[in-house]
A and B are shown apart, each in its own frame.
Chain A
Amino acid sequence: AQKVTQAQTEISVVEKEDVTLDCVYETRDTTYYLFWYKQPPSGELVFLIRRNSFDEQNEISGRYSWNFQKSTSSFNFTITASQVVDSAVYFCALSETFYNQGGKLIFGQGTELSVKP
Protein backbone atom coordinates (compact mmCIF):
# COMPACT_ATOMS: atom_id res chain seq x y z
CA ALA A 1 0.00 0.00 0.00
CA GLN A 2 1.12 3.52 -0.63
CA LYS A 3 1.88 5.66 2.40
CA VAL A 4 3.85 8.76 3.33
CA THR A 5 5.08 9.30 6.86
CA GLN A 6 6.32 12.58 8.26
CA ALA A 7 7.22 11.67 11.80
CA GLN A 8 7.97 15.21 12.91
CA THR A 9 4.69 16.92 13.73
CA GLU A 10 6.22 20.23 14.81
CA ILE A 11 9.69 21.70 14.66
CA SER A 12 10.75 24.98 16.18
CA VAL A 13 14.05 26.64 15.31
CA VAL A 14 15.66 30.02 15.69
CA GLU A 15 16.34 32.07 12.60
CA LYS A 16 19.53 31.14 10.72
CA GLU A 17 19.51 27.59 12.01
CA ASP A 18 19.49 24.75 9.49
CA VAL A 19 16.54 22.38 9.71
CA THR A 20 15.75 19.04 8.07
CA LEU A 21 12.23 17.76 7.53
CA ASP A 22 11.98 13.99 7.23
CA CYS A 23 9.80 12.06 4.81
CA VAL A 24 9.56 8.28 4.49
CA TYR A 25 7.36 6.65 1.90
CA GLU A 26 6.03 3.21 1.06
CA THR A 27 5.14 2.00 -2.40
CA ARG A 28 5.14 -1.26 -4.34
CA ASP A 29 5.75 0.51 -7.63
CA THR A 30 9.20 0.88 -9.10
CA THR A 31 8.23 4.10 -10.85
CA TYR A 32 6.78 6.98 -8.90
CA TYR A 33 7.06 10.68 -8.17
CA LEU A 34 7.78 12.44 -4.90
CA PHE A 35 6.82 16.02 -4.09
CA TRP A 36 7.16 18.65 -1.41
CA TYR A 37 4.53 21.34 -0.93
CA LYS A 38 4.54 24.31 1.43
CA GLN A 39 1.38 25.53 3.16
CA PRO A 40 1.96 28.98 4.69
CA PRO A 41 -0.44 30.41 7.29
CA SER A 42 -2.55 31.86 4.47
CA GLY A 43 -3.53 28.29 3.59
CA GLU A 44 -2.61 27.77 -0.04
CA LEU A 45 -0.46 24.83 -1.20
CA VAL A 46 2.73 25.92 -2.92
CA PHE A 47 4.67 23.44 -5.05
CA LEU A 48 8.35 23.20 -4.14
CA ILE A 49 9.84 20.20 -5.92
CA ARG A 50 9.06 17.08 -7.91
CA ARG A 51 11.44 14.13 -8.13
CA ASN A 52 10.98 10.93 -10.11
CA SER A 53 12.07 7.57 -8.81
CA PHE A 54 14.83 7.15 -11.39
CA ASP A 55 16.65 10.28 -10.35
CA GLU A 56 18.43 9.99 -7.01
CA GLN A 57 20.57 13.05 -7.45
CA ASN A 58 20.26 15.54 -4.65
CA GLU A 59 18.88 18.90 -5.62
CA ILE A 60 19.63 22.36 -4.33
CA SER A 61 17.57 25.47 -4.94
CA GLY A 62 18.85 28.47 -3.04
CA ARG A 63 18.51 27.71 0.67
CA TYR A 64 16.48 24.56 -0.04
CA SER A 65 17.95 21.13 -0.68
CA TRP A 66 16.49 17.68 -1.03
CA ASN A 67 18.04 14.30 -0.34
CA PHE A 68 16.40 11.34 -2.06
CA GLN A 69 17.53 7.85 -0.99
CA LYS A 70 15.68 4.89 -2.48
CA SER A 71 17.56 2.47 -0.24
CA THR A 72 15.84 3.94 2.81
CA SER A 73 12.67 5.16 1.01
CA SER A 74 13.32 8.66 2.20
CA PHE A 75 13.03 12.09 0.62
CA ASN A 76 14.23 14.62 3.17
CA PHE A 77 14.09 18.38 2.86
CA THR A 78 16.67 20.74 4.36
CA ILE A 79 16.35 24.48 4.78
CA THR A 80 19.67 26.19 5.31
CA ALA A 81 19.85 29.42 7.30
CA SER A 82 16.13 29.39 8.04
CA GLN A 83 14.12 32.61 7.97
CA VAL A 84 10.88 33.64 9.63
CA VAL A 85 9.15 33.48 6.23
CA ASP A 86 9.90 29.76 6.13
CA SER A 87 7.34 29.23 8.90
CA ALA A 88 4.68 26.98 7.39
CA VAL A 89 3.40 23.44 7.25
CA TYR A 90 5.40 21.33 4.81
CA PHE A 91 3.87 18.30 3.14
CA CYS A 92 5.64 15.45 1.44
CA ALA A 93 3.57 13.60 -1.17
CA LEU A 94 3.79 10.49 -3.36
CA SER A 95 2.27 9.78 -6.75
CA GLU A 96 2.48 6.22 -7.97
CA THR A 97 1.38 6.60 -11.56
CA PHE A 98 4.13 7.57 -13.91
CA TYR A 99 3.66 6.69 -17.56
CA ASN A 100 -0.04 7.00 -17.10
CA GLN A 101 -2.82 9.42 -16.48
CA GLY A 102 -2.50 11.99 -13.75
CA GLY A 103 -1.91 10.17 -10.51
CA LYS A 104 -3.46 11.11 -7.22
CA LEU A 105 -1.16 12.56 -4.60
CA ILE A 106 -0.84 10.73 -1.29
CA PHE A 107 0.16 13.27 1.34
CA GLY A 108 1.97 12.85 4.61
CA GLN A 109 0.59 14.37 7.78
CA GLY A 110 2.73 17.45 7.40
CA THR A 111 5.43 19.05 9.54
CA GLU A 112 4.72 22.43 11.05
CA LEU A 113 7.90 24.49 11.03
CA SER A 114 8.11 27.53 13.24
CA VAL A 115 11.09 29.82 12.75
CA LYS A 116 11.54 32.32 15.56
CA PRO A 117 13.45 35.58 15.14
Chain B
Amino acid sequence: EPEVTQTPSHQVTQMGQEVILRCVPISNHLYFYWYRQILGQKVEFLVSFYNNEISEKSEIFDDQFSVERPDGSNFTLKIRSTKLEDSAMYFCASSPFLAGITDTQYFGPGTRLTVL
Protein backbone atom coordinates (compact mmCIF):
# COMPACT_ATOMS: atom_id res chain seq x y z
CA GLU B 1 0.00 0.00 0.00
CA PRO B 2 1.41 3.39 -0.95
CA GLU B 3 2.51 5.58 1.93
CA VAL B 4 4.01 8.96 2.69
CA THR B 5 7.70 8.81 3.58
CA GLN B 6 9.81 11.37 5.43
CA THR B 7 13.53 11.85 5.90
CA PRO B 8 15.36 12.10 8.17
CA SER B 9 13.51 10.46 11.04
CA HIS B 10 15.45 12.60 13.51
CA GLN B 11 17.37 15.83 12.92
CA VAL B 12 19.47 17.58 15.51
CA THR B 13 20.64 21.11 14.76
CA GLN B 14 22.09 24.15 16.43
CA MET B 15 19.98 27.26 16.96
CA GLY B 16 20.27 29.60 14.00
CA GLN B 17 21.04 26.85 11.50
CA GLU B 18 18.92 26.09 8.45
CA VAL B 19 17.20 22.72 8.16
CA ILE B 20 15.36 21.05 5.32
CA LEU B 21 12.85 18.33 6.06
CA ARG B 22 11.97 16.06 3.19
CA CYS B 23 8.81 14.23 2.28
CA VAL B 24 7.73 11.99 -0.56
CA PRO B 25 3.92 12.13 -0.81
CA ILE B 26 1.79 9.34 -2.22
CA SER B 27 2.37 9.40 -5.96
CA ASN B 28 -1.10 10.24 -7.31
CA HIS B 29 -1.92 12.76 -4.60
CA LEU B 30 -2.17 16.44 -5.46
CA TYR B 31 -2.45 18.20 -2.10
CA PHE B 32 0.44 18.34 0.34
CA TYR B 33 0.63 19.54 3.91
CA TRP B 34 2.99 20.14 6.80
CA TYR B 35 1.93 19.89 10.42
CA ARG B 36 3.91 20.01 13.61
CA GLN B 37 3.45 18.54 17.07
CA ILE B 38 5.36 19.94 20.00
CA LEU B 39 6.04 17.15 22.49
CA GLY B 40 2.90 16.18 24.38
CA GLN B 41 0.71 18.68 22.57
CA LYS B 42 -1.78 18.59 19.76
CA VAL B 43 -0.99 18.47 16.07
CA GLU B 44 -0.97 21.93 14.48
CA PHE B 45 -1.42 22.87 10.82
CA LEU B 46 1.45 24.76 9.20
CA VAL B 47 0.81 24.94 5.47
CA SER B 48 -0.99 23.36 2.53
CA PHE B 49 0.36 23.26 -1.02
CA TYR B 50 -1.36 22.64 -4.33
CA ASN B 51 -0.44 23.17 -7.95
CA ASN B 52 3.02 24.44 -7.00
CA GLU B 53 1.84 27.14 -4.68
CA ILE B 54 0.81 27.63 -1.07
CA SER B 55 -2.92 27.14 -0.67
CA GLU B 56 -3.18 28.14 2.98
CA LYS B 57 -0.78 28.82 5.84
CA SER B 58 -1.14 29.29 9.57
CA GLU B 59 0.18 32.03 11.84
CA ILE B 60 3.02 29.70 12.79
CA PHE B 61 4.25 29.62 9.19
CA ASP B 62 6.15 32.89 9.22
CA ASP B 63 8.98 34.14 7.01
CA GLN B 64 11.39 31.64 8.54
CA PHE B 65 9.49 28.82 6.88
CA SER B 66 9.22 27.91 3.22
CA VAL B 67 8.00 24.95 1.21
CA GLU B 68 8.98 23.66 -2.17
CA ARG B 69 8.27 20.84 -4.55
CA PRO B 70 11.65 20.72 -6.27
CA ASP B 71 10.80 17.78 -8.52
CA GLY B 72 7.91 15.47 -9.27
CA SER B 73 8.20 13.47 -6.08
CA ASN B 74 9.68 15.45 -3.18
CA PHE B 75 8.03 18.06 -0.98
CA THR B 76 10.28 19.97 1.40
CA LEU B 77 9.92 22.22 4.42
CA LYS B 78 12.79 24.62 5.07
CA ILE B 79 13.32 26.47 8.32
CA ARG B 80 15.78 29.25 7.61
CA SER B 81 17.12 30.02 11.07
CA THR B 82 15.96 27.55 13.68
CA LYS B 83 14.91 28.56 17.15
CA LEU B 84 14.64 26.46 20.30
CA GLU B 85 10.85 26.59 20.03
CA ASP B 86 10.98 24.94 16.59
CA SER B 87 11.80 21.67 18.33
CA ALA B 88 8.89 19.40 17.47
CA MET B 89 7.74 16.45 15.40
CA TYR B 90 7.02 17.57 11.86
CA PHE B 91 4.51 15.58 9.87
CA CYS B 92 4.02 15.65 6.13
CA ALA B 93 0.64 14.61 4.73
CA SER B 94 -0.89 14.23 1.30
CA SER B 95 -4.38 13.80 -0.09
CA PRO B 96 -5.95 13.26 -3.49
CA PHE B 97 -8.12 15.96 -4.97
CA LEU B 98 -11.20 14.19 -6.21
CA ALA B 99 -13.71 16.38 -8.01
CA GLY B 100 -13.09 19.24 -5.60
CA ILE B 101 -14.01 17.27 -2.50
CA THR B 102 -11.78 17.38 0.54
CA ASP B 103 -10.37 13.93 0.99
CA THR B 104 -8.52 12.09 3.70
CA GLN B 105 -5.01 13.24 4.53
CA TYR B 106 -2.48 10.47 4.94
CA PHE B 107 0.44 11.21 7.19
CA GLY B 108 4.08 10.28 7.04
CA PRO B 109 5.94 8.88 10.07
CA GLY B 110 7.27 12.31 11.02
CA THR B 111 10.67 13.94 11.48
CA ARG B 112 11.67 14.77 15.02
CA LEU B 113 13.55 18.08 14.99
CA THR B 114 15.66 18.93 17.99
CA VAL B 115 17.14 22.42 18.16
CA LEU B 116 19.97 22.85 20.66
Contact = CB atoms under 8 A, between A and B. Distances in A.
A103 B109 contact: no
Interface string B89-111: 10101010100111111111110
Interface residues of B, number: 30
B102 A33 contact: yes
Nearest to A112: B40
Chief secondary structure at chain B's binding surface: strand
Interface band, chain A = 20 to 34
Interface string A70-99: 000000000000000000000101010111
Interface string B34-50: 01000001111100101
A85 B55 CA distance: 37
Interface stretch (A18-26, A44-52, A55-63): A44-52
B101 A99 contact: yes
B68 interface: no
18 contacts: A37-B107, A42-B109, A44-B108, A44-B110, A45-B93, A45-B110, A47-B105, A50-B104, A91-B43, A102-B31, A102-B95, A102-B97, A104-B33, A105-B43, A106-B45, A107-B42, A109-B41, A109-B42
